[in-house]
Structure 1
Amino acid sequence: MLNQLKAIIQYLLPKQLLTSLFGWLANKRLGRVTTWMIIGFCKLYKIDLNEAKLTDAKEYKTFNDFFARELKADARPIDDAANSIVMPADGVLSQFGHIQDNLLLQAKGHFYSLEALLACHPDMIKFFKDGSFATTYLSPKNYHRFHMPCDGILREMIYVPGSLFSVNKATTESIPNIFARNERVICLFETAFGPMVQIMVGATIVGSIELKWEGVITPPRDGVMKRWTYAGNVKLAKGEDMGCFKLGSTVITLFASNAIEFDNHLKLGDVTRVGQKLAERI
Structure 2
Amino acid sequence: MSRSSPQMINAFQRAGWLPLSEADLIKWVKGVVIEVSKRDAPLLPVVQNFQTLIETNSELYMGFNQMFEQQPPSSLIFNKIIQEAPFYGPIGPPFYMVLSAAMNTQGGFTTFLSNQLNAIPCVARIRSVLTNNPGGWFSSPALKAMTDNFDGLPFEQIFVSDPSAQYWGYKSWDDFFVRTLQPGIRTLQAAENPNVINAACESQLYNISKKVQERDTFWIKGEPYSLLDMLNQDEAAPQFMGGTVFQGFLSVTGYHRWHAPVTGVVRKVVKVPGTYFCQSPATLGETDNPYLRSLAFITSLATRMLIFIKSENERIGLMCFIAVGMTEVSTCEATVKEGDRVERGDELGMFHFGGSTHVLIFRPEANVKFFDGVDNPGSMVEVRAAIGGVA
Q: TM-score, normalised by structure 2?
A: 0.58
Rounded to whole Å, the distance in 1 between the matches of 2:267 and 2:276 is: 27
Rounded to whole Å, the distance in 2 between the matches of 1:104 and 1:45 is: 40
3-state DSSP of counterpart to 1:78: coil
**CA deviation vs aligned residue, 1:80-129 (integer Å, no higher than 9, x gap):** 1331101111111100130332337585442311121111123x221111
Higher relative contact order (CA 8 A, sep 6+): 1
- Percentage identity across aligned positions? 23
Q: By how many angstroms is 1:203 displaced?
A: 2.2
Instruction: Go from structure 1 to structure 2 and tell me whether the alpha carbon gap of 1:175 and 1:278 turns closer, same or farther (over 3 Å shift).
Output: closer
Partner of 1:262: 370
**CA deviation vs aligned residue, 1:242-281 (integer Å, no higher than 9, x gap):** 1111122111110010312111432222111111111102
Rounded to whole Å, the distance in 1 between the matches of 2:317 and 2:222 is: 30
Consecutive unaligned residues of structure 1, counting only runs of 5 or more, are: 215-229
CA contact (8 A) 1:95 1:107 kept: no
Rounded to whole Å, the distance in 1 between the matches of 2:140 and 2:349 is: 22
Larger radius of gyration: 2
Partner of 2:47: none
Instruction: Go from structure 1 to structure 2 and tell me whether the alpha carbon gap of 1:127 and 1:176 turns closer, same or farther (over 3 Å shift).
Output: closer
Q: By how many angstroms is 1:238 displaced?
A: 0.4
RMSD: 3.3
Question: Which structure's residues are more often strand, by fraction?
Answer: 1
Moved more, 106-115 or 46-55: 106-115
Q: By how many angstroms is 1:38 displaced?
A: 3.0
CA contact (8 A) 1:68 1:244 kept: yes
Q: TM-score, normalised by structure 1?
A: 0.79
Instruction: Go from structure 1 to structure 2 and tell me whether the alpha carbon gap of 1:104 and 1:269 turns closer, same or farther (over 3 Å shift).
Output: farther
Rounded to whole Å, the distance in 1 between the matches of 2:131 and 2:332 is: 23
Consecutive unaligned residues of structure 2, counting only runs of 5 or more, are: 5-17, 19-99, 148-154, 280-288
1:113 aligns with 2:226: yes
3-state DSSP of counterpart to 2:323: strand
CA contact (8 A) 1:95 1:135 kept: yes
Alignment of 1:176-195 (within 5 A): 177-191=297-311, 192=313, 193-195=316-318
Alignment of 1:139-178 (within 5 A): 139-165=251-277, 170-174=290-294, 177-178=297-298
Partner of 1:220: none
Partner of 1:92: 204
3-state DSSP of counterpart to 2:184: coil
Letter of the structure 2 residue corresponding to residue 20 of structure 1 = P
2:138 equivalent among 39, 64, 81 = 39
**CA deviation vs aligned residue, 1:7-40 (integer Å, no higher than 9, x gap):** 41664997968x9353x22xx4x5x554454325
Question: Which structure's residues are more often helix, by fraction?
Answer: 2
**CA deviation vs aligned residue, 1:119-146 (integer Å, no higher than 9, x gap):** 1123x22111111111110120211111
3-state DSSP of counterpart to 2:200: coil
